[in-house]
Amino acid sequence: MMIDFTESFALDYAGARTKFRATAAELGGALSEYRHPTLRTPDGQDLVVDVVRLGDAAAPSQLIVISGTHGLEGLSGSAAQVAWMKSAPARALPPHLSVLLVHAINPYGFAWGTRTTENNVDLNRNFVDHEAPHPANPGYATLYPDLVPDDWTPAALQAYTGALDRFRAAHGDDALFNVLASGQYDFPNGNNFGGVAREWSNVTLEKIVADHLGQAERVGFIDWHTGIGGWAEAFFLCFNDENGPLHAEAVRWWGKERLIGQRPHNMARPNYQGLVFHGLTKFLGRRPMVGAVVEFGTRGVHVRRALQLDLWLKFKAERDSERVQLLRADLHDCFVPVSANWREQTTEQAISITQQAIDGLATWSLAAAA
C-alpha cells in the first residue's frame, strides 16, 4: 500500500479538524458537534468534539473509533481516522453496519498540546464511580515528591530517577509500572490523575453514545493511542474478559498474537482504572462490545520521561523561551514522531486494523454475542 502521510496527518488541532471534516464530507458523512461550553483553543477558537456517522444510524452492528483521549496523541489518532476514510473500503461498508468516528474526545489536551484535560486529568483514568471511594494507589505517594523538579536540568531530574530506582529495587519492575500507570486519585498535579469528578469529555462521551449508538445491538470499539510498543508497531490492550466470548471475538478480529499475553514494555499489564473502555461498556448497558486500545509504539519505556516533562511544562516552565519551545517539540515528538517512516507505517496499520474490526463486526453473529 502506498501511503502519503501528509494527506492524513496535520500540524495541530485546527488542521486535524479541517482534514477530518473535509474527508468526512467527501464521503457524505453526517456530522455532529459537541462544543466545550467555556474553554477555547490557544488562539481563541472553539474547542469541539466532532462526530461523523458513516452508514445507517439504525444498523445493528456499529463501530465507534475514538481519537484524542490523551490530547496531543490525537494527531496520530486523527490521522488514523482520516486515512481509513480515504481508503477504498470506507466507501463500501458491509450491509447492516455503520461507523461512528469521534474526533478529539479530549479537545483541550489536543489543542493545548498536553495529554490531559483542562484539569490535568488523565481522561483514560476518569471513568470510575466518583461517588464511591477512589481506587487506592499507595505506592504513588513515595514517588510524587520528586516527580516535578523546579527546573528541567539533568541534575534536577536525578532525584526522580533515584526514587524510581529505589522503588524498583524494593518491589520490582512490574510493581513500579503498576504504580506509575494504573491511575492515582490523590495528587491533582501528578500524572495519571483520574480526577475527583467526571470530566466534561467523560460526560460528553456518554451523550455521544446516547445520541448515536441507541439502535446498535452490538458494538466494536477502537481507541487510538501512542507510546507503548516497539517503534511504529501496533500494540493492543484489550479489556474484554480474557476467559469470555467477547475476548475470543476480539482474537478472531485481530489475531491471538496481538491479544493474548499482552506485556506492555515487556512488563505485567497494570491494573488500569477508569478507562474509556470501562466507560463505554457501562454506557452501552447490556449490549455487547468488543474492542481495544491500540497503541503505536514510540520510545518504549523512555516515554516515562515525557510524562514527567508534560507536567513540568504545565506547572513549572517559564513562558515561551527557546528552551521551552525545544522541550515542547521533544514532548510532541515522543507521542507523535515527526519521522515520515513512523507516520507511513502507522497509517498503513491503522487502515488495516480498522478494516479488520469492520470485517469482524460484520460477521459477528448475534447468537454468539448473547
Q: CA angle at residue 221 from 217 to 226, to 5 degrees?
A: 175
When pLDDT is averaged across residues 63-92 and rounded to a whole number, the result is: 97
Query: Model confidence at 275, in pLDDT bands (50, 70, 90)?
Result: very high
The span from the CA of 303 to the CA of 256, in Å, is 26
When pLDDT is averaged across residues 266-286 and rounded to a whole number, the result is: 97
When pLDDT is averaged across residues 8-34 and rounded to a whole number, the result is: 98
Q: Tell me the β-bridge partners of 103.
A: 50
Q: Tell me the β-bridge partners of 114.
A: none
What is the grid cell recorded at 288?
455487547
Quick: pLDDT tens for 332-362. Answer: 999 999 999 999 999 999 999 999 999 999 9
Across the chain, mean pLDDT equals 96
When pLDDT is averaged across residues 266-278 and rounded to a whole number, the result is: 97
Quick: pLDDT tens for 43-54. Answer: 999 999 999 999
Residues whose CB is less than 8 angstroms from the CB of residue 282 and which lie 6 or more positions away in sequence, other chains included:
127
| Residue 57 exposed, middle or buried by CB count within 10 Å (0-12, 13-18, 19+) | middle
Model-wide pTM > 0.95: yes
Residue 370 has pLDDT above 50, yes or no: no
Residue 368 has pLDDT above 80, yes or no: no
Specify whether the CB–CB gap between 29 and 100 falls below 8 A. Answer: no
What's the pLDDT at 365? 80
Quick: pLDDT tens for 212-232. Answer: 999 999 999 999 999 999 999
What's the pLDDT at 366? 53
> Residue 94 carries which DSSP code?
P
- List strand residue ranges (DSSP E) for 120-217, in order: none
Strands lying side by side in the sheet with 289-297: 30-40, 46-54, 97-103, 61-66, 218-231, 289-297, 234-237
What domains lie within the chain, and their CATH numbers? 5-141+159-365 (3.40.630.10)
Query: Model confidence at 320, in pLDDT bands (50, 70, 90)?
Result: confident
